[in-house]
Amino acid sequence: MNINKNMIDKEKIIIRRVTNDDLPGMTAARLDYLREMQGDRPAAYLKELQLSLHLFFIQTIAEGSFFALLAEYEGKVLSYGGMILKKIPGDLNQSSYLEGDILNMYTLPEYRRKGISSLILENLLAEAEKMGASKVALHCSKDGEPLYRKYGFSDPVYPYLELTIKAKG
């Protein structure tokens, strides 16, 4: 379907939850995102990763630890966004917390900078709030950083460090 990217009426964009029928498209979008961020990989590896991602989405959506939204316009999916929810032990203020990690934010390149990711993000944050999340975090590209800062995302209060553990073998 051809949509004039300059003539999108944001009022007609439908934001809805991803269903199992939408998973092939969301999986493909995740692969496109990863290739943009990390470069391409051999076809055999990408095929294996595609299957793994598809199974991950099926399992985590079914168990309720992941939800995803999409933006659709005139029957065409333009953007995706998802969130992993995790319960963590609390502190002296509260016995436990529900935190969200946004991932899989991806808009087709030809529809970027049209406010579509903002619609996805607003809906993800509203859903996280309804579910009782106390904090939401994400990794972002340099291009995406201004969007997230506009919505109040900031540098972590505590230093954030990570370690990549290499598989043995």
Tens digits of per-residue pLDDT, 78-114? 999 999 999 989 887 778 889 999 988 999 999 999 9
Average per-residue pLDDT for the chain: 91
How many whole angstroms separate alpha carbon 138 and alpha carbon 108? 19
Q: What percent of the chain has pLDDT over 70?
A: 96
What local confidence, expressed as pLDDT, does residue 150 receive?
Answer: 94
List the chain domain ranges: 10-147
Fold classification of 10-147 is Aminopeptidase (3.40.630)
For 20, 45, 127, 146, 159, the CA distances from 17, given in Å and listed in that order, are 10, 29, 11, 25, 33
Spell out the long-range contacts of 14-17 with Cβ–Cβ below 8 A and sequence spacing 24 or more.
14/71, 14/72, 14/73, 15/69, 15/70, 15/71, 15/72, 15/119, 15/120, 15/123, 16/69, 16/70, 16/72, 17/67, 17/68, 17/69, 17/70
Q: How do residues 135-156 score in pLDDT, each as one tens digit?
A: 999 988 888 889 999 999 998 8
Q: How do residues 9-43 score in pLDDT, each as one tens digit?
A: 888 999 999 999 999 999 999 999 999 989 999 99
> Could you please report the per-residue DSSP string of 64-104?
TSEEEEEEEETTEEEEEEEEEEEEEE--SS-SEEEEEEEEE
Per-residue pLDDT band at 1 (split at 50, 70, 90): low
* Mean predicted confidence (pLDDT) in 128-133: 93
Order of all β-strands in the sheet with 76-89: 14-17, 66-73, 76-89, 96-107, 135-138
What local confidence, expressed as pLDDT, does residue 92 receive?
Answer: 79
What local confidence, expressed as pLDDT, does residue 168 receive?
Answer: 80
pTM to 2 decimals?
A: 0.87
